[in-house]
Amino acid sequence: MKQPARRNPIQRGESTTKLPNYCDLPTPAIPPGANFTDAQASRWDELWATPSAWLWSESEIGLVAAYVHLERTLFDGTGTAATIREVKALGESLGMTPQSRARMGYTIEEKK
């Protein structure tokens, strides 16, 4: 399913771009075969409402799904040290940490 065209609420500044502190675009469908639990489906919805979701397109849907799946393995005790590294790397590549957003040139606007 193609995502709807995104509005552009992003505020461009001198050296950084401010993202809105939430993303209110429709959440993409969970990819076929992901077989998420209810908790994972809720996490999927949460992630697509974060400020970082403004940076994602259809090409990141699989990465976000992998993040949700791997994150769950950490919580259920089946994850490994390699899983921790992969979750961290995915989070960084998706702009989910303040440090990764700063490297990308983004900040989050303050809540009003």
User: Tens digits of per-residue pLDDT, 30-42?
Assistant: 999 999 999 999 9
Tell me which residue of 22, 24, 19 sits closest to 9, measured CA to CA: 19
Q: Is residue 6 part of a domain?
A: no
Q: Is residue 100 part of a domain?
A: yes
Q: Is residue 60 part of a domain?
A: yes
* Lowest mean pLDDT across 17-21, 92-96, 108-112: 108-112
Q: Retrieve residue 32's tokens.
A: 């076929």
> How many other C-beta atoms lie within 10 A of the C-beta of residue 37?
11
Q: What is the mean pLDDT of residues 58-69?
A: 96
Q: Is residue 48 part of a domain?
A: yes
Q: Retrieve residue 50's tokens.
A: 């974060």
Q: Is residue 54 part of a domain?
A: yes
Comparison of pLDDT for 5 and 64, the residue scoring more: 64
Domain containing 57 equals 14-22+36-108
Is the pTM higher than 0.85? The answer reads: no
Report the domain count for the chain. 1
Give the confidence band of 1 by pLDDT, cuts at 50, 70, 90.
very low
Q: Is residue 28 part of a domain?
A: no
Q: Is residue 7 part of a domain?
A: no
Whole-number pLDDT of residue 14: 61
Q: Is residue 43 part of a domain?
A: yes
